Amino acid sequence: MRTLVTGAAGFIGFHLCERLLRDGFTVVGLDNLTPYYDVALKEGRRRVLQERFGFELALIDLADRSRLESFWNEARPEWVFHLAAQAGVRYSIENPHAYVDSNLVGFANVLECCRRSPPQHLIYASSSSVYGANPVPWSEHQPTDHPVSFYAATKKANEAMAHSYAALFGIAATALRFFTIYGEWGRPDMAFFKFADAIMRGAPVELYNDGRSTRDFTYVGDAVEAMVRIASRPPSAAIDHHGSTDPAGSPVAPHRPINIASGRRVALSDFCDMIATALGRTADIRRCGMMPGDVADTWGDVTLLRALTDYVPDTPIHTGIDRFARWYKETYAR
């Protein structure tokens, strides 16, 4: 399969490219190396892919429609993993226009490319944040009418946009609702990375909601495994021989959301302690109130993921943390 990965120098995109290239796929990638966080980290991921596989990614901003269309026409991908986006709940409060440019304008340009040169399957990054104020556990069958951050609102909009293109033009699309992905080469703005940084510097670790919050932490290698399996299972709006439509899919379009989650939740305070232990340090905990845009708990129902892929993320939390801690110490703690 000719496979396109947008956001190829990003956290999940890097791991996905590494997996696909190792498995012998023909992969093309693009990224604009936005300085939302340290570009040196993105350059490091890019360098690993180049040195191990000879992989070169194109430097393209998704908002640049003409450059994206030219690139797409040459690549003509059969699978598209659209992972490029402006991430971060809190940053969306400070700089909402960055989310409009990347998550809305950029995604509209991707959909238009899919319309003109349809892939077999568009697999794109949504987020567990679309569930907003819903009670946990979160299932794909629940409505997503109460986003509590602008980032979540853009991801909800992405799902509506992709659904409309699926209905109008038959573009098979799957929305990946990621649940707190963690692991090596992670993003510095994410909690697990912030915890490690503070612990190694001897600085206080801030735990919001007085440390009572829980998260469904999902190891990045498990997320990639789920994504690769999902790619070969595009949704269909057609009724099958059992008289039913695609599970959790749309009755009018080849579109479905799916949780990329472990199906387990861990208290943030416990997660922080495990990181400290893996780093051989002690965490200085500072308990704080809730942050705007945050939710108290996340927890994904993985029934649909299991049914579609015969797989559920299975890396033990201690194993995933140990791998991250080893990488962090090798990369930063010198």
Q: Model confidence at 211, in pLDDT bands (50, 70, 90)?
A: confident
Domain 2-186+217-263+300-314 has CATH 3.20.20.150: no
User: What span, in angstroms and rounded, lies between the C-alpha atoms of 308 and 236?
Assistant: 13
Indicate the range of 103-107, 129-133, 207-211, 257-261 predicted with least confidence: 207-211
- Neighbouring residues of 187: CB distance < 8 A, sequence distance ≥ 6: 10, 11, 37, 41, 87, 193
Residue 121 CA to residue 77 CA, distance in Å, equals 9
Please say whether the beta carbons of 266 and 316 come within 8 A: no
3-state class of 182 per DSSP? strand
pLDDT tens-digit profile of 239-278? 554 544 556 678 899 999 999 999 999 999 999 999 999 9
Q: What is the mean pLDDT of the chain?
A: 94
Is the distance from CB of 134 to CB of 146 less than 8 angstroms?
Answer: yes
Domain ranges of the chain: 2-186+217-263+300-314
> pLDDT tens across 273-311, in order?
999 999 999 999 999 888 888 899 999 999 999 999 999
- pLDDT for the residue numbered 248: 62
Minimum mean pLDDT range among 60-64, 197-201, 290-294, 312-316:
290-294
275/190 Cα distance (integer angstroms)? 13
The confidence score (pLDDT) of residue 247 equals 62
Q: Is the pLDDT of residue 134 over 50?
A: yes
Q: For residue 182, indicate whether it is catalytic.
A: no
Q: How far apart are CA 30 and CA 135, in angstroms?
A: 37
State the average pLDDT over residues 192-204: 95
User: What 3-state class would DSSP assign to 177?
Assistant: strand
Catalytic one among 36, 151, 219, 328?
151
DSSP one-letter string for 108-157: HHHHHHHHHS--SEEEEE--GGGGTTPPSSB-TTS------SHHHHHHHH
The Cα–Cα gap between 172 and 182 comes to 28
Task: Tell me the two tokens of residue 54.
Answer: 């000879």
On the question of pLDDT at 104 being above 80, the answer is yes
**CA neighbor of 42 nearest in space, from 82, 9, 86:** 9
Phi, psi of 232 (to 5 degrees): -85, 10
| pTM (predicted TM-score) | 0.95
User: Torsion-angle region of residue 263: left (phi > 0), alpha (psi -120 to 50) or beta?
Assistant: left
What is the model's pLDDT at position 139?
A: 96
DSSP, residue by residue, 210-227: GGT-EE--EEHHHHHHHH
Neighbours of 289 (CB within 10 A): 8
Which tens digits make up the pLDDT trace of 68-100? Answer: 999 999 999 999 999 999 998 888 989 999 999
DSSP string of 50-114, one letter each residue: HHHH---EEE--TT-HHHHHHHHHHH--SEEEE------TTHHHH-HHHHIIIIIIIHHHHHHHH
Sheet holding 57-59, edge to edge: 57-59, 26-31, 2-6, 79-82, 121-125, 173-178, 255-260
Nearest to 283 by CA among 294, 292, 272: 272
CA gap 279, 265 in Å, rounded: 22
Instruction: Please check the confidence at residue 175 and state whether its pLDDT lies above 80.
Output: yes
